[in-house]
Amino acid sequence: MKRLKGGPELKMPELKMPPFLVDLYLDLRDRRLLPLVAFVVVAIIAVPFLLKSGSEPVSSATAGLGAPPSPESHPASLTVVEAQPGLRDYRKRLRDDSPTDPFVQRFTGAELKGTKLGGGEEGGSTTSSTSESTTTTVTKSGGDSNGGSTTTTQTTHTTSESGAGAPNSESGNSGGGSGEEPELTLFAFAVDVKMVRTHVVNGKKQTDEPVIRKHVVPPAALPSEKTQAVTYLGLSPKTRQPFFLVSDEVSSIFGEGSCLSGASTCQLIELEPSFPETFVLGEGATRYKITVLKTYPVVTGHS
């Protein structure tokens, strides 16, 4: 632009953009997103005009229809009903029912021919089956005086009954329906034990001959009722090994038995057959070495 001679020199003001706009512009240019940003700006400006020009005029038929009536023109009517909680009168609830006698049988089941429930007098169950066979014999004779024929039909019915509850059947005499309760047999596990006593006589230790007790049924005190070192209680439900209750007079125990109860002193001990266990009574004067030889079930009674 040419400057007029003799006139004053005009300076244009310098416009500076904010730094974040400059950084944004440089980033968009480096990423080649300026055309996309320009397209979005143009679309934002042009969409309202396109929508306004593309709208169709309201048809006359639609314009002729009146506006729907507002709900305020017909206010809803509210009815207040008094609440009456509780049960209805039993006379109204049961007016269609008629009383019945509770002692009169009203329901009957299907009747099964030849079947008895309860086994009659003996209380056993009875099952009956019936088979029927029919035999028909047809005999034709010569014609009669009218020229016809005579036909004779003979029918034979055979019925047989069989069942577990028949009076003449072999199974009826087996005693299953006698009505008596079955007899129960009671069992227990007995043990055979060998006991050896060691005691002091005149300041010297003396060992007695071994004593074998057979058929020891729980509960049983060992070695005897007067001198009780242990009490046999039976077999353990878990290990199936015999276990014994240790007396309070036992001061110490030696052997490979398994103590089942007791902290400082063992109160319940389990002994494996063929493994001896020594029990010391008192101050060590008398010792009993007990060995379980075998265990076996025995019958203890009937009920």
Report pLDDT digits (tens) over 133-184.
444 444 444 444 444 444 444 555 555 554 544 444 444 444 445 567 788 8
Q: How confident is the model at residue 10, as a pLDDT?
A: 62
- Could you report the per-residue pLDDT of 93-109, keeping only the tens digit for each? 777 777 788 888 877 76
**Do residues 207 and 197 lie in contact, with contact meaning Cβ atoms separated by under 8 Å?**
yes
Kind and range of the H or E element at 53?
helix 34-54
- H or E stretch covering 63: helix 60-64
pLDDT in tens, 21-31: 888 888 888 88
pLDDT reported for residue 149: 44
193 Cβ neighbours under 8 A, 6+ residues apart: 212, 213, 216, 222, 232, 290, 291, 292, 293
Per-residue pLDDT, 195? 95
pLDDT above 70 for 286: yes
pLDDT at 68: 58
For the cut 90, the answer to whether the pLDDT of residue 75 exceeds it is no
- Per-residue pLDDT at 70: 59
Over residues 103-139, the pLDDT tens digits come to 888 777 666 666 665 554 444 444 444 444 444 444 4
Phi, psi of 152 (to 5 degrees): -115, 125
* pLDDT higher at 45 or 102: 45
Out of 1.10.10, 3.40.720, 2.60.200, 1.10.150, which CATH number does the structure's domain 186-302 have?
2.60.200
The residue behind tokens 């003396």 is 206
CB 233 within 8 A of CB 219: yes
